[in-house]
């Protein structure tokens, strides 16, 4: 029996991986919202993005055999009902809407656009789900989750005052979650953590998060001379964790919980065995040819030269853990565990560098 999906954000990192994962079910037909000057350009953008994703994730045979089941739909999440001319734009019987589109910008001067895409885009998705009678799987972010007294981030709806760090990106994501939770539609909220490339190939199609840290540190290292013997002291508990999770783990879990999971539920798409803050920061400094950092309490912090480039990311290295109970009830306990050794942490960055050199 054919299952019809409608997905936004397929030209992005997570959305493209989710499309490929949906194609593993031969009964799936995937309609994909794509921006463009016209339908022809939108089709080209989609084909190029998914071909690149399939290549990066060693999934070219899957894409070649399933491409005919992916249907571009010209539209934009920033417009009412995503700009779709209903009912002509879609077939009847759409079962799932996957809202993966988002902007990852966080700067204050971009706040209006961030809210338009990340908050109002979700409101338009809610209206579309209501009109189509479809279930909405809303892609959010783990770092707006409420925390328990022990610091663990839990699979519960976001609360505004829990946002840390407080950026326009996080606030827009919180408002989007609140709109989903308060709607009368059938919904699930999916929250990925810091997504990196494919677990086996280490390749990625987008370079935010971990890659942005490496990029900022590299640029800063070029601009600042580090006195011989000077080492940064980072205000980070070295045995805390930062939740880096491979994109294929995220996509598999998303499709599992999005089609089999209980509705009205929040699911974390995160690594059950994340690397320690020490291992990730040491990999970043080693890859950038900077002296290995030390760790200490905030009062002893010293961020000389290049290390200051990581200032805004350091709060993410202080998270104890992400609750995964809801997700693992669907996926099983081992599916979310992807240990990342030091060699993996460096391999992701090497693939990133190779991508830049190929452009």
Cα 258 from chain centroid?
15
State both tokens at 68. Answer: 């005919």
Q: How many CB atoms lie within 10 A of CB 158?
A: 25
DSSP assignment string, 183-220:
SSS-EEEEEE-EEES-TTT---S---THHHHHHHHHHH
Q: pLDDT tens across 50-98, in order?
A: 999 999 999 999 999 999 999 999 999 999 999 999 999 999 999 999 9
pLDDT of res. 17:
98
CA 341 vs CA 269, 274, 283, 346: distances in Å: 20, 10, 10, 9
Distance CA 170, CA 270 (A): 18
Which positions of the chain have pLDDT values less than 50? 359
Domain borders along the chain are: 3-192, 210-242+275-320+337-358
pLDDT of res. 359:
42
CA-nearest of 133, 135, 130, 157 to 263 is 135
Q: What is the DSSP letter of 31?
A: E
Distance CA 236, CA 315 (A): 8
Q: Is 27 helix (H, G, I), strand (E, B) or coil?
A: coil
Q: pLDDT tens across 319-358, in order?
A: 778 999 999 999 998 999 999 999 999 999 999 998 876 5
**CATH code for the domain defined by 3-192:** 3.40.50.720
The pTM for the full model equals 0.94
């Amino acid at each position: 029996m054919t299952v019809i999906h409608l997905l936004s954000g397929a030209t992005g990192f997570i959305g493209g991986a989710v499309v490929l994962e949906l194609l593993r079910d031969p009964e799936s037909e995937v309609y994909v919202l794509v921006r463009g000057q016209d339908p022809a350009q939108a089709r080209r953008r989609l084909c190029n993005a998914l071909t690149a994703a399939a290549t990066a994730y060693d999934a070219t045979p899957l894409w070649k055999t399933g491409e005919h089941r992916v249907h571009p739909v010209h539209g934009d999440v920033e417009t009412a009902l995503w700009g779709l001319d209903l009912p002509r734009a879609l077939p009847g019987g759409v079962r799932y809407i996957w809202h993966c589109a988002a902007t990852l910008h966080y700067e204050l001067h971009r706040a209006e656009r961030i809210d338009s895409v990340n908050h109002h885009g979700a409101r338009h998705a809610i209206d579309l789900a209501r009109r189509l009678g479809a279930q909405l799987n809303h892609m959010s972010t783990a770092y707006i989750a409420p925390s328990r007294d022990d610091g663990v981030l839990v699979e519960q709806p976001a609360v505004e005052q829990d946002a840390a760090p407080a950026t326009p990106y996080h606030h827009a994501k919180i408002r989007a979650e609140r709109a989903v939770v308060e709607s009368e539609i059938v919904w699930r909220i999916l929250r990925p953590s810091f997504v990196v490339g494919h677990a086996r190939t280490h390749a990625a199609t987008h370079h935010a998060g971990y890659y942005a840290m490496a990029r900022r540190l590299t640029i800063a290292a070029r601009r600042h001379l580090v006195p011989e013997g000077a080492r940064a002291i980072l205000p980070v508990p070295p045995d805390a964790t930062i939740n880096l999770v491979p994109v294929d783990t995220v996509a598999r879990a998303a499709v599992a919980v999005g089609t089999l999971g209980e509705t009205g539920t929040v699911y974390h798409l995160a690594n059950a065995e994340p690397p320690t803050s020490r291992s990730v920061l040491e990999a970043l400094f080693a890859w950038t040819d900077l002296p290995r950092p030390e760790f200490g309490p905030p009062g002893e912090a010293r961020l000389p030269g290049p290390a200051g480039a990581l200032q805004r990311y350091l709060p993410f290295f202080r998270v104890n853990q992400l609750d995964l109970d809801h997700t693992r009830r669907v996926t099983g306990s081992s599916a979310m565990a992807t240990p990342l050794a030091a060699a993996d942490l460096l391999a992701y960055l090497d693939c990133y560098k190779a991508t830049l050199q190929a452009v």
